[in-house]
Amino acid sequence: MFGTDDTLRAPYAAYQKWLDGEKADRLKRKTREAEAFFRKTGITFNVYGEEEADERLIPFDIVPRIITAREWRKLSRGIEQRVRAINAFLYDIYHRQEILRAGRVPVELIAQNEAFLPQMIGVNPPGGIYTHIIGTDIVRTGDDQFYVLEDNARTPSGVSYMLENRETMIQMFPELFSQIAVQEVGRYPQDLRRSLAACAPPACSGKPTVAVLTPGIHNSAYFEHSFLADQMGAELVEGHDLSVQGGRIAMRTTRGYQPIDVLYRRIDDDYLDPLNFKPESMLGVPGIMDVYRAGGITIANAPGTGIADDKALYSYMPQIVEFYTGEKPMLENVPTWRCSEKDQLAYVLDNLPELVVKEVHGSGGYGMLVGPAATKKDIEEFRKKLENNPGNYIAQPTLALSTVPIFTNAELAPRHVDLRPFVLVSPKGISITPGGLTRVAMKKGSLVVNSSQGGGTKDTWVLEE
């Protein structure tokens, strides 16, 4: 909100003028009202592995994060370039593997990677689209400096919070939106429906039937699954609702079985089909991979997309972007050390107190070490993990992430943030919702923004031109 010299940044000028006229008591009351609204609406997430209440509210902060139209254009171009490269990479890696033949990515990084699915080799997904929905995590380190922290190409979550954050802000502060021209995000569910329908399989005849496949009410993102199905006008189904009928995947209804054309699945590859992956899975649909390979259904995102957001592969993204687009990446990667390589591991072990170390397949802020905030005991325990299984980790420098104010009981206070814009991909093009989900570390000095680790969210405003 303020620059390094404590001057108000231009994007916040109109907001600051409004804020100066507000009383602290009113803002405190609005914060309580927002919490009550989230609780009433059921906007919660589940926390695994804890005996206490496993369902929690995500903290919501009423101070928006504001991005200019110029900044958003730069981000959008970079995100679109990256998404196109990811989709091209996935097609290549499951077909001719030209990037491996060219030596731009090590063969062993793919061959020995559990996210690579041999069952997808030679499969042509409907419309040629692998990643129908992508969440690209971005951090800011300077006025005009953005880094991609990671790509979420499997089952990215959080879009429901983006939508509900905006709805809450409009309800609580309608006058703000009449004074400040903010780009809309509310069309996302309709855009998602249209984008998925545009990826209908060859077996589809007539208007495509779209369904959301959820693991069930105990999943951490169940609120989002049900919310999106409702907002799209799509069916919400679990694995036991589906079966193979006449070469199609059909859902059980009061009028018998009805074929599904597009399945927006929110379960991991391993649990998708017990006949092809984990036999003990009770969440998936037996035989769905055979129907998929035969062109009887579209699965979004396609199985096997996890190889594109694998953290070990992340360090090769600049080469991947250049290989498939012929252009230098518009958005930078965070410098990354691959602990699987002996010399890079040695550097990481020597500098653990200054680095962030992450599991290759980790998510949600779990299984990571933030060196500057870690105790000596934590660092030594992590050192043993690295020495025992170096290939399971990558390391990155601790970036000086930008901060955005949050409203505390006493005053505005700076907290670190990241941004997850949501991208829709179909044969008709790429659509990026203006803004996305700003995740904020609610604890002073913390760099971990994940909700599972105590992080909260904010409304993200992209200003009109």
Question: What residues make up the domain containing 354?
Answer: 338-397
Q: Helix (H, G, I), strand (E, B), or coil: what is residue 288?
A: helix
> Which pLDDT value is given to residue 35?
87
Stretch 311-334: mean pLDDT: 95
> Which pLDDT value is given to residue 146?
94
**Residue located via tokens 């037996």:** 286
Any idea which of 164-168, 207-211, 361-365, 439-443 has the lowest mean pLDDT? 361-365
User: Do 284 and 432 reside in the same domain of the chain?
Assistant: yes
Residue 1 lies in a domain: no
- Would you tell me the crossing angle of helices 188-197 and 159-172 to the nearest 10 degrees? 150
User: Do 390 and 437 reside in the same domain of the chain?
Assistant: no
Residue 2 lies in a domain: no
The pTM of this model reads 0.92
Cα Rg of the chain (Å, integer) = 22
User: Do 349 and 326 reside in the same domain of the chain?
Assistant: no
> Which pLDDT value is given to residue 363?
59
Rounded distance, CA 129 to CA 426, Å?
A: 6
> Which pLDDT value is given to residue 200?
97
Tally of structural domains, the chain: 2
Q: Helix (H, G, I), strand (E, B), or coil: what is residue 173?
A: coil
**Residue located via tokens 């914060």:** 31
Rounded distance, CA 409 to CA 439, Å?
A: 20
Q: List C-alpha distances in Å: 58 to 37, 46, 132, 189, 221.
A: 12, 10, 26, 21, 12
Model confidence pLDDT, tens digit, residues 47-76: 544 444 456 678 899 999 999 999 999 999
Three-state secondary structure string covering 86-154: HHHHHHHHCCCCHHHHCCCCCHHHHHCCCCCCHHHCCCCCHHHCCCCEEEEEEEEEECCEEEEEEEECC
> Which pLDDT value is given to residue 221?
87
Residue 361 pLDDT more than 80?
Answer: no
Which residue, 382, 397, 412, sits at the end of a domain? 397
Model confidence pLDDT, tens digit, residues 272-311: 999 999 999 999 999 999 999 999 999 999 999 999 988 8
Mean pLDDT of the chain: 91
User: Do 360 and 247 reside in the same domain of the chain?
Assistant: no
* Class of residue 50 by CB neighbours under 10 A (exposed 0-12, middle 13-18, buried 19+): exposed
CB 459 within 8 A of CB 438: yes
> Which pLDDT value is given to residue 40?
81
Stretch 104-125: mean pLDDT: 94
C-alpha closest to that of 260 among 271, 268, 252, 269? 252
Share of residues in the chain with pLDDT > 90 (%): 76
Residue 452 pLDDT more than 80?
Answer: no
User: Do 310 and 174 reside in the same domain of the chain?
Assistant: yes
> Which pLDDT value is given to residue 453?
64
> Which pLDDT value is given to residue 444?
87
Which two three-digit tokens encode residue 195? 């984008």
User: Do 351 and 313 reside in the same domain of the chain?
Assistant: no
> Which pLDDT value is given to residue 459?
97
Angle at 39 between CA 33 and CA 43, to 5 degrees: 115
User: Could you tell me how many helices (H) and strands (E) the chain has, helices first?
Assistant: 14, 23
Stretch 151-163: mean pLDDT: 93
User: Do 100 and 66 reside in the same domain of the chain?
Assistant: yes
Stretch 168-181: mean pLDDT: 95
